[in-house]
Amino acid sequence: MSVAAILQALSLPPEVRVDKRVAKKLLLEQGAPTAADKRIIQDGVDDLHWIAALKPTNIGVPAFRDEIRDYGEISVLTVALRPAAKARLTELIQRAIPYPVFLVSTQGKTVTLTLAHKRFSQGEAGKVVLDGEMVGTTLLESSLDTAFMASLALNAQAAANLHTLYQGWMDRIESLAVARITGYFELPESSEQASARRAALEEHARLEREMVRLRAQAGKEKQLNRRVELNLKMGGLRTELGKMMEKLRRGNHAG
């Protein structure tokens, strides 16, 4: 999967294109609250490009503003990361830009998409902070990823306002995460279904983390009775994972 393929999949009209290189100095000023963060940016970013700015005036989708956030623009950016770049770098880039960002990252042959909602800071007037967890995926060469890419076109997104448009892209990333568990890529039919699937995804991830922890613990355990106890717990977790997978499958086929 390539950056060019992703940009092509977005089907952005010429009017939104910016195609400007972003100086690392600007990123250091806006996205590096600590000396350690400055080093992460300095050592990790090879090249950052502002590809497009989606605004009401160039895509015909209304802005969104309430007491929590102001979505007057969505930025599409690409960043080439150096081999030793830290995982926190993506978050620093998202934090540095006050608009919602569709971020395409490359590190060697790995291509990753990252999105994050943003809101007004409650403690610092005029500042914008991340609102919840970032949503991202590393793209693979698979039929599921091909289906995901086919769903990204700008004119295929809900267009009530820029917030719903951006949320639609986040829902597609979560749909790909579900598909990698169930084997089926399907978009949610409503915001309620999307929320239910998101909760099920989080629970599935929690159960998998617990399974990994117990497996590692059992591998180190010397006492037989304790190993039996841990194996029984893992059996229970496998049952719960099966139930959660079935819940995700049902969610995919709702309606």
Output 253 or 126, whichever has higher pLDDT.
126
Is residue 117 over pLDDT 90?
A: yes
Is residue 254 over pLDDT 60?
A: no
What's the whole-model pTM score? Answer: 0.84
For 132: left if phi > 0, alpha if psi spans -120 to 50, otherwise beta; the answer is: left
How much of the chain exceeds pLDDT 90, in percent? 44
Is residue 197 over pLDDT 90?
A: no
- The three state secondary structure string of the chain is CCHHHHHHHHCCCHHHEEEEECCHHHHHHHHCCCHHHHHHHHHHEEEEEEEEEECHHHHCCCCEECCCCEECCEEEEEEEECCCCCCHHHHHHHHHCCCCEEEEEEECCEEEEEECCEEECCCCCCCEEECCCCEEEECCCCHHHHHHHHCCCHHHCCCCCHHHHHHHHHHHHHHHHHHHHHCCCCCCCCHHHHHHHHHHHHHHHHHHHHHHHHHHHHHHCCCHHHHHHHHHHHHHHHHHHHHHHHHHHHHHCCC
Output 197 or 79, whichever has higher pLDDT.
79
| CA distance linking residue 216 with residue 207, whole number of Å | 14
pLDDT, tens digit, 9 for 90 and up, residues 208-248: 888 888 888 888 878 888 888 888 888 887 887 777 777 77
pLDDT, tens digit, 9 for 90 and up, residues 74-109: 999 999 999 988 888 999 999 888 899 999 999 999
Mean pLDDT for 181-197 is 82
